[in-house]
Amino acid sequence: MTHMNVVMTSSRFGGRYFLDTLSRCCPDIVVMHEVMRKHTDSHSVLTKLTGLPLDRLKKMAEFEPEALWSTISESAKASGKNVAILAYYYHQPRDSALWDRIRNEARVVHLVRRNLFEAFVSRQAAFQNSSARQNTANGASQKGDGLMALNEKELRSYVVERTNDIEWCRQTFGSGNYRELFFEDISRTFGTCVHEINRLFPAADDTLSKDVRLSAPIRRALSNADRIADYAFVARFDRAYV
């Protein structure tokens, strides 16, 4: 197995769900969340793997992302560890040389949302839930029918932006060691995520992943038509895009 693996996605829940499941199925893999962005993440994991102080690692993430990549890769190779890093499309500029390094030196697992309408609705629901909690904390009462209102202009813009992100990722990494997964597939049933992990990341002990018992991802009970105000006006967007 390639010792450096990067999971590229726009799905915050999907990316974390996939890597959290991976860490349970294959505990020997070093899993890192968002280390290739400014200020980095997974601080304790980074310092343990590289042996470098956190301040130095943060500066590398901000000013020398290629140097940080080399440090992680060399440390992983020296320790005989495989690494899986979660990255979002926006973590580096599109013209960053780091993307070329990743294409040439790592396996890229691209986690894609088929239905971008669903992704937009999930994002808006998170925003609205956060706002509702804040209003409640401030003593405001909740009114209305509970239906979600969508801004069609924002929806269109989101779909275009995400479609461009997906195509950019395919074009940038497709000529390298590239695999593609769909969020809808890994979140469909209890075992689908584990199945994909078994296929992509064979565990040293194959019984590890078979013994993992996962709770199902949170799934909503209502259809989009039941939860979105004026759904008929945006229903044409509710489809698979990729």
Each of the 242 residues of the chain gets a pLDDT tens digit; together they read: 568 999 999 988 899 999 999 998 888 999 999 888 887 888 999 999 999 999 999 999 999 999 999 999 999 999 999 999 999 999 899 999 999 999 999 999 999 999 999 999 988 887 776 655 554 454 444 445 578 889 999 999 999 999 999 999 999 999 999 999 999 998 877 688 888 898 888 764 455 556 666 555 556 667 888 889 889 989 999 987 76
Domains assigned to the chain: 4-29+82-237 (3.40.50.300)
Q: What is the pLDDT of residue 144?
A: 52
Q: What is the pLDDT of residue 142?
A: 47
Q: What is the pLDDT of residue 216?
A: 55
* Residue 201 main-chain phi, psi, to 5 deg: -130, 75
Q: What is the pLDDT of residue 204?
A: 46
- Model pTM score: 0.86
Residue pair 83/69 in contact by the 8 Å Cβ criterion? no
* Residue 106 main-chain phi, psi, to 5 deg: -130, 170
Q: What is the pLDDT of residue 134?
A: 57
For residues 242 and 230, give the distance between their C-alpha atoms in angstroms, rounded to a whole number.
25
For residues 14 and 111, give the distance between their C-alpha atoms in angstroms, rounded to a whole number.
8
For residues 66 and 74, give the distance between their C-alpha atoms in angstroms, rounded to a whole number.
12
Both tokens of residue 208?
A: 């590890």
Q: What is the pLDDT of residue 77?
A: 94
Q: Tally the C-alpha atoms within 13 A of residue 145's C-alpha that lie toward its C-beta.
A: 8
Q: What is the pLDDT of residue 123?
A: 87
Which of 108, 87, 84, 96 lies closest to 11 in space, CA to CA? 87
Q: What is the pLDDT of residue 221?
A: 65
Q: What is the pLDDT of residue 111?
A: 97
